[in-house]
Amino acid sequence: MRRLGMRLAPVAVTPHAHGCVLQVVRRSGCGQRECSPPTLPSKGAGMDPDVSLMAHCPPTGGLTQEQVQVEISAEYNRQVLHSHEQKIAAIWQQRKQEKPWLFNGAKFRIHSAQLEGGELLLLRLGLTCYKDYLGTNWAPEARLLQERGVADFGDSQAYLAEPLGVGAMLHTADDCFVFLRRSERVAEAAAQVDIPGGHAEPKAAVKGIPEDSIQVQHLSGELVVQEIFSSILGEIRDEVNVPLESLSRPLLLGIARNHRSAGRPSAEFYVRCKLTSEEVRQRYLIGGVEAHESTSISFVKREDVLKLEEDVESWRELCPSAKGAIQLYTLVRPSRAS
């Protein structure tokens, strides 16, 4: 599943004043614009301190795979702060003791994003790993690392792992969006609501090289873009248990930052599904490859998703990445025909 364990999500799993939740099913058991890493968010800046938008596509329906390019370089890797490296190792050992099923893995690290004329998005990526993510973005010292990054490089994210997640606003044939309640087994945001998602995997973009030996020189920008777009379809298949042939090509809505984890970025997509919410529900109950990562599914009408941020009680249940996906969808609003 996504995010190094799994991810949060929006919409409450019980009916609220706006009547957003249709079903809850539990399983038993523009010109060129530079979007570089943000400075430290100030309290009260923005409507929701949990989330901000690093980049959003123009309101023309989102960007296709052909409209996204990747520049991958070791220059975009995390800056190493030697005094913190032992803490990263200690945090990893502690998390492994708490949840022995966790495992390390290579991830793409986002440095910046540049939107050119509304037609092309350039992502500048390096490499990182899950262990470094838990030891930097999720470290108790994350705020200090951000301040040190500003002082040393003028970049609050310079010393952070910044793994690029992926998430999907999954739109059913009967005009509903899909949300999942995360299980207690996941490493992050346990028992919260999320959208389907996970991470693009460097190992899927290069063959014949052990994961812990992958370097940026082994990767091509074209194959990395392909993996980013295909990974979200794989996450939907594995988490929701719907077949790939029922899913449309993903459209990129933009990139959101989760400020509960020091600004961790996630690329949020719009994906249409040929199945109705009832058909999706039935397949979810059967269980997919990553069925253990969530405990229930819920469906929210599109009209209610567009005003979900106004429903304080429902909005509070959402994880930051899910909030970001909803905000991006509201801004871009791709049509079902796109």
DSSP summary character for residue 87: H
Task: Judge whether 29 lies within some domain.
Answer: yes
Please count the CA atoms within 13 angstroms of the CA of 172 that sit on its side-chain side. Answer: 21
Q: Which residue has the higher pLDDT, 140 or 14?
A: 140
Question: 263: Cβ–Cβ under 8 A, 6 or more apart, which residues?
Answer: 37, 38, 41, 52, 137, 146, 156, 157, 160, 162, 257
Cα 24 vs. chain centroid, distance in angstroms?
A: 23
Question: 6: Cβ–Cβ under 8 A, 6 or more apart, which residues?
Answer: 182, 183, 186, 187, 188, 189, 194, 198, 293, 294
User: Mean pLDDT over residues 28-38, rounded?
Assistant: 39
Q: Is a pLDDT exceeding 60 seen at residue 140? A: yes
Residue 333 tokens, joined: 């609003």
Task: Judge whether 44 lies within some domain.
Answer: no
Find the range with the poorest average confidence among 33-47, 210-224, 245-259, 260-274.
Answer: 33-47
**Residue-number span of the structural domain to which 157 is assigned:** 3-37+52-332
Helix (H, G, I), strand (E, B) or coil at 69: strand
Task: Judge whether 43 lies within some domain.
Answer: no
Task: Judge whether 46 lies within some domain.
Answer: no
Question: Which CATH number do you get for residue 253?
Answer: 3.90.79.10
Confidence class for position 293, pLDDT limits 50, 70, 90? confident
pLDDT at position 28 is 41
Question: 96: Cβ–Cβ under 8 A, 6 or more apart, which residues?
Answer: 102
Q: How far apart are CA 167 and CA 18, in angstroms?
A: 25
| 82-125 pLDDT tens trace | 999 999 999 999 999 998 988 999 999 999 999 988 789 999 99
Task: Judge whether 195 lies within some domain.
Answer: yes
Element (H, E) at 254: strand 251-258
Domain count, the chain: 1
Confidence class for position 202, pLDDT limits 50, 70, 90? very high
Task: Judge whether 71 lies within some domain.
Answer: yes
Question: 337: Cβ–Cβ under 8 A, 6 or more apart, which residues?
Answer: none
End-to-end CA distance of the chain: 27
Task: Judge whether 45 lies within some domain.
Answer: no
Specify burial of residue 302 (Cβ count, 10 A radius: 0-12, 13-18, 19+): middle
- Residue of 193, 207, 169 lying closest to 334 (CA atoms): 169
Q: Is a pLDDT exceeding 90 seen at residue 189? A: no
DSSP bridge pairs for 34: 114
Task: Judge whether 338 lies within some domain.
Answer: no
